Structure 1
Amino acid sequence: MNSLDTLHYYKRLEAVRVPRRQAEVHAQVLAEVMSQVATKDDVMTLKTWVELYVKEQTQQLKSDLLKWFFAISIAQASLIITVLRYLPH
């Protein structure tokens, strides 16, 4: 989580003669915005999730490709056997 010293920010605004109410609102809005910014931990969590998802999908694709390979191989072998059977000897 991002940390922001709103009091320090508020006092710095007041030091440069920003009106008190305006400085308060600036500090509050900045705190709200900073609470919505992704942290390094958020990014690392997302990265981990994406890596796991990609790994899972890759394994699923490998499995699907293997199934198709064997199905096409069996179909091809069956076709060759059928063609050879009906060829004149």
Structure 2
Amino acid sequence: MNSLDTLGYCKRLETVGVPREQAEVHAQMLAEVVAQVATKDDLDALEVRLKEWVKEWVSLYVGEQIQSLKVDMLKWYITLCIAQTSLIIAALRYLPH
């Protein structure tokens, strides 16, 4: 979590001539902004979640596509084996004995 010493920040502004009320508002606004800034822990957690999401997506969608390609390749392989066998049988049948 980001921390900001608002009291110290306010006092530093006052020492350079900023009125107290204005310095307090500056300190409050800066504290709100700093609270919204992502920390290293936030980014690390996001990285872990993103890696898990990518891994899940790849296993789900890419895995399905690979399965589909395997089936298509098997169909082509069987078709080509049958065609090759038919050509060999036809060539042997029409060769002179």
Q: Tell me the TM-score normalized by structure 2.
A: 0.76
Question: Structure 1 vs Structure 2: percent identity of aligned residues?
Answer: 45
**How many residue pairs get matched?**
88
Q: Give the corresponding residue for 2:68.
A: 68
Consecutive unaligned residues in structure 1, runs of 5 or more? none
Q: Give the corresponding residue for 1:55.
A: 55
SS for the counterpart of 1:2 is coil
Q: Give the corresponding residue for 1:8.
A: 8
In structure 2, what is the Cα distance between the partners aligned to 1:17 and 1:70? Answer: 75
User: Cα distance, 1:56 vs. partner?
Assistant: 1.7
In structure 1, what is the Cα distance between the partners aligned to 2:20 and 2:77? Answer: 84
Answer 1 or 2: higher relative contact order, Cα 8 Å, separation at least 6: 1
Residue type of the alignment partner of 1:20: R
Deviating beyond 6 angstroms after TM superposition, the runs of 4 or more aligned structure 1 residues are: none
Instruction: From the CA coordinates, give the structure whose radius of gyration is larger.
Output: 2
Over aligned residue pairs, what C-alpha RMSD do you find? 2.1
User: Cα distance, 1:21 vs. partner?
Assistant: 1.2
Q: Does 1:21 align with 2:35?
A: no
Residue type of the alignment partner of 2:9: Y
Q: Tell me the TM-score normalized by structure 1.
A: 0.82
Residue type of the alignment partner of 1:43: L
Consecutive unaligned residues in structure 2, runs of 5 or more? 91-97
Q: Does 1:45 align with 2:45?
A: yes
In structure 2, what is the Cα distance between the partners aligned to 1:35 and 1:69? Answer: 50
Residue type of the alignment partner of 1:53: W
User: Cα distance, 1:41 vs. partner?
Assistant: 1.0
